[in-house]
């Protein structure tokens, strides 16, 4: 384990230094100190680690204050959970500082009530055995792995296993987490664990807030194997439990998520994923699910527009470029791009790469100079000029000036 921890390909040397600084301070405060969870799991798998989750037997907030005093940075504290986030100086990086704790659930799906406890108790409250290992950082125990739930054996067998039968009922977000690890590492759910994703646990999903559900779905969508994960949660009845209208992900659309986004369209993988996922839904169902999953207005608009555009495509096919442009201009660019990827309709590509940038050379100031009073007619004239460019009626400045003269000439 120590060899893995000293491997700069797995843990950059500045993080190694950071951990030893934290451990020294914790030791000076008499607090046994551990890194836990994904850190230990990924290190044992020989994968680079990112997040540092530090658990102390003592008071994580006190340790956090001391770290800020000694090394700078900022602290965000959560007194209710006895946790703190140490934002490192001159960097976007942070370390989670956690007081070892016990958790009890007052009702299924609720946030837990917590009490300070030992590291062993803290490991017992965790989701799966592979995430319930701790690595001691301070004092003589440095480098020792605590693995009371046989996480290392499950890592070697490639098995995801909950720690007790009520785990998914207490917190059904663990179902999503299980599927993330299963696909990410090519592991399998232990048979008893899979059987616990039963109607009782699925029912609790129903009462979970939209915000918590979307957070879990977002994390899935960030993963390279996201589509496989969505199909898997669908097969376990999770999607239907979230809402009966939740569709499956059309696997034909999977490759689109890997497209390198040329055409200067800024493509956010999550937004693209939700668009492809919901693109065949009716307007009403898009709105229902956007509400259930607490979508932001921006995400709702993107998904709604993609679904509407895809459905409306047969009515747009024969339009002139200017008509396409004015129809598309109201929609988010990413939604148009998504429908282009699915339909390969060349007008959509022309709009994205050319038409939306086409403007007449004349502007409002020019119209004023020609003696026109600003008003609605300004916009109409500029639109007519733009349409003429888009539809190929104009090809140079002289032609535009000629058209402009005819447009502003007094009408007889």
From 27, 29, 38, 301, residue interacting with ligand ATP (rule: CB under 6 A)? 38
Pick 183 or 387: Cβ nearer ligand ATP: 183
Beta-bridged to residue 188, according to DSSP, are: 159
Pick 82 or 126: Cβ nearer ligand ATP: 126
Pick 131 or 161: Cβ nearer ligand ATP: 131
Regarding 131 and contact with ligand ATP (CB under 6 A), the answer is: yes
Regarding 15 and contact with ligand ATP (CB under 6 A), the answer is: no
Q: Where does 279-316 have alpha helices with state H?
A: 283-292, 297-316
Both structure tokens of 265: 């369209």
Q: How far is CA 131 from CA 54, 313, 327, in A?
A: 13, 48, 51
Q: How many other CB atoms are found less than 10 A from the CB of residue 306? A: 27
CA-to-CA distance for 175 and 233, rounded, in angstroms? Answer: 8
Q: How far is the CB of 265 from ligand ATP (least distance, A)?
A: 28
Beta-bridged to residue 77, according to DSSP, are: 84
Regarding 136 and contact with ligand ATP (CB under 6 A), the answer is: no
Distant-in-sequence, close-in-space partners of 258: CB < 8 Å, separation ≥ 6? none
Regarding 387 and contact with ligand ATP (CB under 6 A), the answer is: no
Pick 167 or 335: Cβ nearer ligand ATP: 167
Phi, psi (5° rounding) for residue 273?
-65, -50
Distant-in-sequence, close-in-space partners of 116: CB < 8 Å, separation ≥ 6? 59, 82, 99, 100, 101, 102
Q: How far is the CB of 331 from ligand ATP (least distance, A)?
A: 34
Residues between 140 and 199 that touch ligand ATP (CB under 6 A): 171, 173-174, 180
CA-to-CA distance for 244 and 246, rounded, in angstroms? Answer: 6
Regarding 362 and contact with ligand ATP (CB under 6 A), the answer is: no
Q: How far is the CB of 253 from ligand ATP (least distance, A)?
A: 24
Both structure tokens of 50: 């990112």
Q: Is 51 left (phi over 0), alpha (psi -120 to 50) or beta?
A: beta
From 127, 154, 190, 216, residue interacting with ligand ATP (rule: CB under 6 A)? 127
Regarding 53 and contact with ligand ATP (CB under 6 A), the answer is: yes
Pick 94 or 378: Cβ nearer ligand ATP: 94
Q: How far is the CB of 130 from ligand ATP (least distance, A)?
A: 8
Q: How far is the CB of 176 from ligand ATP (least distance, A)?
A: 9
Estimate the crossing angle of helix 210-221 against helix 283-292, to 10 degrees: 100
Both structure tokens of 219: 């994390």
Pick 122 or 400: Cβ nearer ligand ATP: 122
Under 8 Å between Cβ of 320 and 350 = no
Pick 4 or 27: Cβ nearer ligand ATP: 4
Under 8 Å between Cβ of 386 and 354 = no
Under 8 Å between Cβ of 142 and 35 = no
Under 8 Å between Cβ of 133 and 36 = yes
Q: How far is the CB of 353 from ligand ATP (least distance, A)?
A: 37
Q: How far is the CB of 303 from ligand ATP (least distance, A)?
A: 25
Segment contacting ligand ATP (CB under 6 A): 123-131, 139-147, 197-205, 248-256?
A: 123-131
Regarding 126 and contact with ligand ATP (CB under 6 A), the answer is: yes
Pick 45 or 265: Cβ nearer ligand ATP: 45
Can you give the binding site for ligand ATP, defined by CB under 6 A? Answer: 37-38, 51, 53, 126-127, 131, 171, 173-174, 180
């Amino acid at each position: 384990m120590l060899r893995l921890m000293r491997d700069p390909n797995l843990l950059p040397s500045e993080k190694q230094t950071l951990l030893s600084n934290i451990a020294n301070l914790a030791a000076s405060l008499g607090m046994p100190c551990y890194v836990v969870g994904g850190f230990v799991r990924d290190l044992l798998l020989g994968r680079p680690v990112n997040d540092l989750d530090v658990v102390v037997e003592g008071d994580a907030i006190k340790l956090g204050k001391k770290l800020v005093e000694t090394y700078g940075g900022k602290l965000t504290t959560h007194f209710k959970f006895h946790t703190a986030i140490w934002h490192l100086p001159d960097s976007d990086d942070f370390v989670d500082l956690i007081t070892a704790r016990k958790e009890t659930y007052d009702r299924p799906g609720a946030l837990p009530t917590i009490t300070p406890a030992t590291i062993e108790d803290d490991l017992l409250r965790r989701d799966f055995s592979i995430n319930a290992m701790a690595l001691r950082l301070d004092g003589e125990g440095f480098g020792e792995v605590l693995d009371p739930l046989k996480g290392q054996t499950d890592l070697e067998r490639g098995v995801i296993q909950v720690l007790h039968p009520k785990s998914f009922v207490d917190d059904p977000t663990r179902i999503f987490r299980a599927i993330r690890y299963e696909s990410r590492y090519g592991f399998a759910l232990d048979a008893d664990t899979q059987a616990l994703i039963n109607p009782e646990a699925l029912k609790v999903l129903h009462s979970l807030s939209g915000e918590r559900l979307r957070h879990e779905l977002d994390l899935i969508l960030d993963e390279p194997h996201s589509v496989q994960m969505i199909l898997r949660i669908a097969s376990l009845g999770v999607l239907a439990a979230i809402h009966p209208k939740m569709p499956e992900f059309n696997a034909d659309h999977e490759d689109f998520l890997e497209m390198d986004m040329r055409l200067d369209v800024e493509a956010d993988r999550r937004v693209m994923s939700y668009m492809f996922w919901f693109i065949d839904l009716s307007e009403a169902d898009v709105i229902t699910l956007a509400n259930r999953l607490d979508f932001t207005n921006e995400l709702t608009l993107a998904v709604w527009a993609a679904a509407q555009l895809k459905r409306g495509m047969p009515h747009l096919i024969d339009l002139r470029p200017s008509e396409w442009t004015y129809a598309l201009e109201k929609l988010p660019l990413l939604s148009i791009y998504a429908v282009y990827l699915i339909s390969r309709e060349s007008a959509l590509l022309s709009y994205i790469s050319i038409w939306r940038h086409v403007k007449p050379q004349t502007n409002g100031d020019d119209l004023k100079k020609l003696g026109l009073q600003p008003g609605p007619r300004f916009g109409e004239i500029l639109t007519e000029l733009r349409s003429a460019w888009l539809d190929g009626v104009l090809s140079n400045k002289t032609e535009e000036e000629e058209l402009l003269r005819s447009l502003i000439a007094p009408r007889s």
